[in-house]
Structure 1
Amino acid sequence: MLKSLKKFTGGLSVALLAVTAQAAPLKQEDLSVAEVLRDRALESSDAYSIVESLTVEVGPRRAGTKGDERAVAWAQEKMKALGFDRVYTEQIDVKRWARGHAHAEVTAPFPQPLVVTSLGYGASTPEGGLTAEIVEFADVEALLKAPARKVKGKIAFINKRMERARTGEGYGPAVQGRSQGMRAAAEKGAAAMLLRSVGTDSDRFPHTGMMSIDGVENPVPALALSAPDANLLEAMLKRGKPVEVKLNVHNEALADGPSFNVIGEVVGREKPEEVVLIGAHLDSWDEGTGALDDGAGVAIVTETARLIAELPQRPRRTLRVVLFGAEEIGLVGAKQYVDAHQNDLDKIIMVSESDFGAGKVWRFDTRIPESKFAIADQMMQLLAPLGIERGNNKSSGGPDSSVFVAQGVPAMGLYQDGSDYFDYHHTPNDTLDKVDPENLKQNVAAWVVMSFLAAEMEGDFGRVPTEH
């Protein structure tokens, strides 16, 4: 426990003293506190203990399931135990769905099984399954352009590979097949849709994920293939013979039901009505234990708040941690939060989210007015020793945070190395052993610098343009 602010003022580095000797927006004593918080984070393994607790004691927590209910209860108990001043929930409404079985096999010309998983909220086959010839498309755009006669009664196979990148930038082009593929296949009369998993691994684990389902009158079964199985179908097709696949799938659409955003606050001492909002999403897909997506993010932001709550006095304004519900099925928790708090959004001075695994943070992006860049420059003095470089001013802050940015709320983003994130994303392989405790410490060190200084600074960031 930190006993007094006096302990902080003597630890400021030479580089920081050089910066603060000039007219700068952040005070020397605040930078000093942030520096010590950063170093304390690098020594603490508490964030790893949090994600371990979530994955072991709760596990999978898809929105609207019993696992989701357990996660909401777990989060409230954890925040109270970590010393938050206020912990509460806000109900959201979610579509619910029950995953059943999903089996696939090549029946001709080279019979053998395939490893598949249903995409989120996918339909069932007729009882006993269906068998049809597959027709391959390089990407969803090719499927959209194809004449219906080429697709009708067949299984549309979208064979788009995702490119690996530290930024994860290959995800956007590849995920279009998952989000729009079933809709396109159904509209052209396909019997079903198969998708090369949206991922960068070569493991025999298929990647699930959400599809666009609203307004699809006749949804068809939609399955993701593991990468090796997509390769297998590709090789079979190259032999020039029709390839037939049998699918047997059962899922069930359920009545809509409740979930919750879980919110914890460290209440500001001078401007409690002004808020720095940091978040992660509490829900996960049901294949793994959600350690990377987004258990690590949950741990990072809650541990950040815990460290700040241990200070002998509260920061100037409120630090609010929001663990959003139902992110995986369409940013539902964030969208409903913004709708419910339209009159309070001008009180949120900055938003950010941790939702990209547990790799080391390597870049600091912002979305703030240029007149406020000096604040980010001062933050960089403390982030640079962590191996972090200054990025651009186009940050969305994260998936859920993007909903706030669209309303003019300023954002900051601490971007992790995602080189291997999509090896595990939405698979049974998203488990605790993929989380490196040392990387998690570095994440918290960066987050506590950014969050504390944003909560403590005297001014604010104003608003940002809402167009993208």
Structure 2
Amino acid sequence: MYKKHTLRTLFVLMISASVSYAQPSKPVVDNIIKEATENSQLEQLGYELMDVIGPRLVGTPQMEKAHNWAVGKYKNWGIEARNEKWGEWRGWERGVTHVDMVHPRVQSLEATQLAWSPATKGNGVTAELVIVPDLQDSVAFKKWLPSVKGKLVMISMMQPTGRPDYNWQEFALKESMEKMKASRTQMTEAWSKRISKTGHTARTLPQALEKAGAAGIVMSNWSGGFGVNKIFGANTTKIPTIDVALEDYGMLFRMVENGAKPKIKIQASSKNLGKMPAFNTIAEIKGSEKPNEYVILSAHFDSWDGGTGATDNGTGTIMMMEVMRVLKKMYPNPKRTILVGHWGSEEQGLNGSSAFVEDHPEIVKNIQAVFNQDNGTGRVANISGQGFLNAYDYLGRWMAPVPQAITSEIKTTFPGFPGGGGSDHASFVAAGAPAFMLGSLSWSYGNYTWHTNRDTYDKIVFDDVRSNVILAAILTYMASEDPETASRDRIVMPINPRTGEQTTWPTLRKPTRVGGEIK
């Protein structure tokens, strides 16, 4: 039932099956390619968004600046645009973070406070470090808990190596690598049990320590690459939570274990801003023949703020903005309305896109297609039919005029399975609208840039993003021109082998309209 194809095979089949359809205008396709290639605005858009505005954490002034910047850009290109409020979020603004070891010697550390972490007062917090001990059970943990008062508590495992696996594979003896992996597995399992025996999860443990009078939380969320950590949000409301780079965290951990009683000083000047409005940025090129039918370009606008959100999802954002610019110039009177959504708070659960779907049933019921991009800087390498039974037919027609240099390495899966929530296309799929993820080549996305402190402008591969602009622009043009309405017929969902029951189509998740508070 499920087949994988290269698009080269797909095109041969589709061309023979679609002779009755109006042929695409070659001049429009050629002009799209020429404009996207010779007059690309991607580098400038990337500079303005990533370098000047910076990370776009929901609830921050930088997020609001980004929304206003995008509206201004669209209006300068002659495209109608607006910011559409969908909710509120805990407001916060990052300040300067400085962390130093002050005993037994002085050394500045590579560290940063986590998102929404409280600021330190006065001259900061200086305290001795302790490690969550390996206790018998939650009763023993409760007895130990008063001892954290005035201490900085380390709650992450010390990694046995700061070298990524590919480095071991290149240089290590087989026996050494196997020994390292076995040690890491044993340490990971032991640490997981250690935390479990406290009676808390990774989320609730910091809150328990805070309540007991700890001076702060110190952690390290290594991402598996040289010099890279994942940077998420704090679970404290009164004391600072910081992430320390693997190299410095390991040093501090060993010092504590060996009785050196290290002390560090944390200075963090973030601001709590109360409730802040949360928006989606929407822009439209009105359809000339079917204005109430829609082809939607989709990319989430928000990011975590360890880096500047360059590949998650700055690249998807500037790609879709550039697609709109190119289409406005080369295809100014589309048959269907072309709408782009830059969604807020995707990182906290697809909140912006699910709110849009909930708030605009009149648009959702008339969607021709949604094209979503959200997994890094790489050129598109895979497309799934998302469980829409006839996606093979219409996607084939739409992709036929795309240059073979772009399509030859794209793998397709038809009819595929419906997306369950990994990115914003899932909000539309759940509502029954044909929505497709334009999946990218990795470029070490998972280890090095996804939610990390290294997700910055220099990681963007602009030639790949340009390729994606051409692909998405032609797909949008073809979907707009297609005389047929895309089928919404779905596959019969398979039986779950574990339960023996039929799986169900995903349901639209309820957006969190007021969020960010620690409960």
TM bracket, shorter-chain basis: 0.7 to 0.9
Q: How far did 1:305 drift?
A: 2.1
Q: How far did 1:300 drift?
A: 0.6
Gap change, CA 1:241 and 1:404, over 3 Å in 2: farther
Aligned residue for 2:182?
A: none
Q: How far did 1:439 drift?
A: 1.6
**1:184 maps to 2:182:** no
Aligned residue type for 2:506: T
- 8 A Cα contact 2:293 2:363, kept in partner: no
* 3-state SS in 2 of match to 1:370: coil
Q: How far did 1:444 drift?
A: 1.0
What is the count of residue pairs matched by the alignment?
Answer: 435
Alpha-carbon distance in 1 for matches of 2:357, 2:330 = 30
Aligned residue for 1:431?
A: 456
- 8 A Cα contact 2:297 2:320, kept in partner: yes
* 3-state SS in 2 of match to 1:278: strand
Aligned residue for 1:8?
A: none
* 3-state SS in 2 of match to 1:376: helix
Report Cα offsets for 1:331-381 as digits up to 9, x if no partner: 443343233224543223433332333222222223142233222344565
* 3-state SS in 2 of match to 1:199: strand
Aligned residue for 2:444?
A: 420
- 8 A Cα contact 1:181 1:193, kept in partner: no
Q: How far did 1:90 drift?
A: 1.0
* 3-state SS in 2 of match to 1:94: strand
Aligned residue for 1:155?
A: 153
**1:389 maps to 2:387:** no
Alpha-carbon distance in 2 for matches of 1:411, 1:318 = 16
Aligned residue type for 1:446: L
**1:80 maps to 2:104:** no
Q: How far did 1:301 drift?
A: 0.6
Alignment match of 2:231 (pick from 208, 219, 227) = 208
Report Cα offsets for 1:25-80 as digits up to 9, x if no partner: 99361385785466433454233332233345534444444433432332112112
Aligned residue for 1:266?
A: 285
Aligned residue for 2:487?
A: 461
* 3-state SS in 2 of match to 1:363: strand
Gap change, CA 1:102 and 1:442, over 3 Å in 2: same
* 3-state SS in 2 of match to 1:367: coil
Alpha-carbon distance in 2 for matches of 1:101, 1:143 = 38
Aligned residue for 2:125?
A: 129
Aligned residue for 1:4?
A: none
Aligned residue type for 2:378: G
Q: How far did 1:275 drift?
A: 1.6
- 8 A Cα contact 1:300 1:444, kept in partner: yes
* 3-state SS in 2 of match to 1:405: helix
Aligned residue for 1:314?
A: 333
Gap change, CA 1:429 and 1:143, over 3 Å in 2: farther
Alpha-carbon distance in 2 for matches of 1:341, 1:90 = 12
Aligned residue type for 1:159: M
- 8 A Cα contact 1:134 1:157, kept in partner: no
Aligned residue for 2:181?
A: none
Report Cα offsets for 1:254-305 as digits up to 9, x if no partner: 2212243221112223222122221223344555444333332221112212
Alignment match of 2:373 (pick from 330, 350, 354) = 354
Report Cα offsets for 1:295-336 as digits up to 9, x if no partner: 322211122123333345633322111122344555443343
Identity of aligned residues (%): 24
- 8 A Cα contact 1:63 1:259, kept in partner: yes
Alpha-carbon distance in 2 for matches of 1:341, 1:324 = 14
Alignment match of 2:53 (pick from 44, 54, 58) = 58
Q: How far did 1:456 drift?
A: 3.0
* 3-state SS in 1 of match to 2:436: strand
Alpha-carbon distance in 1 for matches of 2:137, 2:273 = 30
Aligned residue for 1:333?
A: 352
Alignment match of 2:85 (pick from 71, 88, 91) = 91
- 8 A Cα contact 2:350 2:421, kept in partner: no
Gap change, CA 1:357 and 1:106, over 3 Å in 2: same
- 8 A Cα contact 1:380 1:390, kept in partner: no
Alpha-carbon distance in 1 for matches of 2:353, 2:37 = 30
| Structure 2 residue runs without a partner (length 5+) | 1-6, 167-187, 196-200, 491-504, 509-519
Alpha-carbon distance in 2 for matches of 1:145, 1:39 = 66
Alpha-carbon distance in 1 for matches of 2:403, 2:507 = 29
- 8 A Cα contact 2:59 2:91, kept in partner: yes
Alpha-carbon distance in 2 for matches of 1:223, 1:39 = 46
Q: How far did 1:389 drift?
A: 1.6
CA RMSD of aligned residues (A): 4.2
| Structure 1 residue runs without a partner (length 5+) | 1-12, 166-172
Aligned residue for 2:180?
A: none
- 8 A Cα contact 2:61 2:93, kept in partner: no
Report Cα offsets for 1:219-268 as digits up to 9, x if no partner: 6532222232234345546x654765535345442221224322111222
Instruction: Trace 1:262-301 onto structure 2 (pairs within 5 A).
Output: 262-286=281-305, 288-301=307-320
Moved more, 21-30 or 454-463: 21-30
* 3-state SS in 1 of match to 2:321: helix
Q: How far did 1:452 drift?
A: 2.7
* 3-state SS in 2 of match to 1:30: coil
Alpha-carbon distance in 2 for matches of 1:114, 1:429 = 17
**1:45 maps to 2:40:** yes
* 3-state SS in 1 of match to 2:73: helix
Q: How far did 1:148 drift?
A: 4.6
- 8 A Cα contact 1:151 1:185, kept in partner: no
Alpha-carbon distance in 2 for matches of 1:451, 1:136 = 54
- 8 A Cα contact 2:368 2:485, kept in partner: no
Aligned residue type for 1:459: T
Moved more, 341-350 or 26-35: 26-35
Q: How far did 1:413 drift?
A: 0.9
- 8 A Cα contact 2:425 2:437, kept in partner: no
Alpha-carbon distance in 2 for matches of 1:101, 1:338 = 38
* 3-state SS in 2 of match to 1:230: helix
Aligned residue for 1:400?
A: 424
**TM-score normalised to the size of structure 2?**
0.69
Aligned residue for 1:324?
A: 343
Q: How far did 1:96 drift?
A: 0.3
- 8 A Cα contact 2:389 2:489, kept in partner: no
